[in-house]
């Protein structure tokens, strides 16, 4: 007690002083350096460094096949041009990209999913380079539109997938159906699903959420939003009709949601023969050959709705960061990665479809079973890409989980209200 009493008057200012010193030092360390808003601005042209470039690429890989294919392509470019590329596989790409953007030193090239494109573009994280590519016109227009914001096309689509109808061959033939019965209209789809529904198997498994049900909206001539005008269009009549049609299929029991048959997604419901048909995308080829190799199935285009053909596109683009110190080299890398031969090599390795129209003929020749998927490139609708809508879309998905027995109009109205509030 004696010594503490003696030192207390001296102790407090010393404690305060040292804490203040630490805080000031830390703030000074944080405040300098990497927080500069730098990098190429669209108007000034791409940035370029001196000497050979050392690029960093961040990808969200679907598996070893994709990682190996991307690394091989990047290394081939690196050897040819004398630069260096480091390919990093992200465990959580949204988190790692956010860290990069916040710190001012993101990877030079990275995958940009259509769902996050709007937010990244609006925040200024992406460098718009598409018009600098020689092959800019060769990409499917629907895909380029998915990565366009405020009339500016930002990045090159790297590949895409579409939805199509998978049909279990055994159940099909057991119900006495032939090729001529493949449904091409909504009424035919309902009829066929009813015929295929047995006690142990439902006719059709429709995945949960807007990324499956949305196809029906497109087939009826509507969609959740209108990308061109930047407005939400959910409350239009055709959307309610489309949702009511799907609800009718679910209520009558000819269609099921995957959780009802103990499946995590449509492919699992299809593979475990919980349903005779399902609506899924290109990834089915890989999933089925790995998990359910003995199941025989055919793929057909989705039936037309009252307004014509419609399906959903899922795509990602090669994003180049606005802060990259060597955007010229990055553009050259992207050009190499989007060459038709390279895109076909990726298609072979991990089952995606090339985003360039000139590669379509070769793709169909190599994978005739996937003709139905790639045909969707002409009339498919890309995902909602308007910035700020992510929580609204998540809310829509959570309401669509309960589509059976829900009030279709109230789902669409609540989406409309929330979207309008978010888009202003």
Partner 1 sequence: MTDAGTAVRTRPREPGPRRRARGGGGWGNQNAAGWLFVTPVLVVLGLFLVIPIVMALWVSFTDWNGRGNPFASGFVGADNYTELVSEDGLTRSDFMTSLRNNFFYVLLVVPAQTALALFLALVLNQQVLKARGFFRTAFYFPSVVSSVAISLVFVFLFTGGGAVNKLLALVGLDGPNWLADPRGVLHLLGDKIGLWDMASPPGSLSDGSLLGLSWWSWLSGPSVALTVIIMLVVWTTTGTFMLMFLAALQDLPADVEEAARMDGASRWQSFRNVTLPHLRPTMLLVLTLGLIGTWQVFDQVYVMSQGGPSKTTLTPAYLSYTYAFDNQQWGVAAAMAFVLFLIIFLLTSVQRWLFRDKDEIAVKRQDRQARRARRKTLATGDTR
Write out the residues near partner 1 by the rule CB under 8 A.
Answer: 2-3, 5-7, 10, 14, 18-19, 22-23, 26-27, 30-31, 35-37, 92, 94-95, 98, 101-102, 104, 116, 119-120, 122-125, 259, 262, 388, 390-392, 394-395, 398-399, 401-402, 418, 421-422
Select 124 or 286, whichever has its Cβ closest to partner 1: 124
Select 20 or 361, whichever has its Cβ closest to partner 1: 20
Distances (CA, A) of 210 to 118, 234, 414: 18, 12, 14
Least distance CB 117 / partner 1 (angstroms) = 12
How many Cα atoms are found within 13 Å in the side-chain-facing hemisphere of 106?
A: 33
d(CA 94, CA 88): 14
d(CA 127, CA 320): 6
What token pair was written down for 344? 């076909």
Select 45 or 264, whichever has its Cβ closest to partner 1: 264
DSSP H or E stretch at residue 266: helix 266-271
Least distance CB 275 / partner 1 (angstroms) = 15
Q: How many residues does the chain have?
A: 424
Q: Are 155 and 319 contacting, i.e. CB atoms less than 8 angstroms apart?
A: yes
Select 28 or 180, whichever has its Cβ closest to partner 1: 28
Least distance CB 204 / partner 1 (angstroms) = 19
The CA-to-CA distance between both ends of the chain, in Å, stands at: 65
Cα–Cα nearest to 159, from 344, 381, 395: 344
What token pair was written down for 154? 């930002």
Least distance CB 368 / partner 1 (angstroms) = 37
Select 327 or 418, whichever has its Cβ closest to partner 1: 418
Least distance CB 101 / partner 1 (angstroms) = 5
Select 35 or 308, whichever has its Cβ closest to partner 1: 35
d(CA 189, CA 204): 9
Least distance CB 126 / partner 1 (angstroms) = 11
């Amino acid at each position: 007690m004696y010594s503490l009493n003696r030192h207390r008057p001296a102790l407090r200012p010393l404690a305060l002083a040292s804490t203040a010193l630490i805080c000031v030092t830390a703030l000074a360390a944080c405040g300098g350096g990497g927080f500069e808003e730098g990098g190429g601005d669209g108007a000034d042209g791409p940035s370029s460094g001196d000497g050979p470039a050392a690029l960093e690429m961040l990808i969200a890989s679907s598996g070893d096949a994709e990682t190996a294919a991307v690394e091989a392509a990047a290394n081939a470019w690196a050897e040819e041009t004398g630069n260096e590329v480091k390919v990093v596989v992200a465990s959580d790409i949204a988190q790692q990209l956010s860290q990069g953007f916040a710190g001012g030193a993101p990877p030079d090239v990275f995958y940009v999913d259509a769902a996050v494109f709007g937010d990244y573009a609006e925040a200024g994280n992406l460098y718009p380079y598409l018009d600098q590519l020689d092959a800019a016109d060769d990409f499917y227009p629907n895909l380029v539109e998915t990565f366009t914001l405020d009339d500016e096309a930002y990045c090159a689509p790297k590949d895409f997938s579409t939805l199509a109808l998978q049909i279990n061959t055994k159940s099909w033939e057991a119900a006495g159906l032939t090729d001529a019965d493949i449904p091409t209209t909504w009424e035919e789809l309902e009829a066929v699903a009813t015929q295929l529904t047995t006690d142990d198997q439902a006719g059709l498994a429709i995945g949960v959420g807007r990324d499956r049900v949305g196809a029906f909206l497109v087939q009826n001539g509507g969609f959740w939003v209108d990308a061109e005008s930047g407005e939400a269009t959910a409350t239009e009549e055709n959307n309610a009709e489309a949702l009511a049609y799907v609800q009718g299929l679910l209520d009558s029991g000819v269609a099921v949601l995957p959780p009802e048959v103990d499946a995590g997604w449509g492919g699992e419901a299809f593979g475990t023969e919980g349903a005779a048909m399902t609506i899924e995308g290109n990834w089915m080829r890989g999933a089925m050959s790995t998990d359910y190799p003995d199941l025989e199935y055919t793929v057909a285009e989705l039936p037309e709705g009252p307004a014509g053909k419609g399906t959903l596109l899922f795509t990602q683009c090669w994003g180049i960061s606005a802060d990259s110190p060597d955007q010229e080299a990055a553009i050259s890398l992207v050009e190499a990665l989007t060459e038709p031969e390279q895109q076909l090599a990726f298609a072979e390795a991990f089952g995606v479809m090339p985003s360039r129209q000139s590669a379509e003929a070769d793709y169909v020749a190599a994978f005739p079973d996937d003709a139905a998927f790639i045909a969707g490139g002409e009339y498919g609708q890309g995902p909602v890409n308007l910035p700020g809508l992510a929580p609204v879309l998540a809310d829509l998905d959570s309401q669509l989980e309960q589509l059976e027995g829900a009030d279709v109009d109230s789902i669409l109205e609540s989406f409309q209200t929330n979207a309008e509030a978010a888009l202003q």
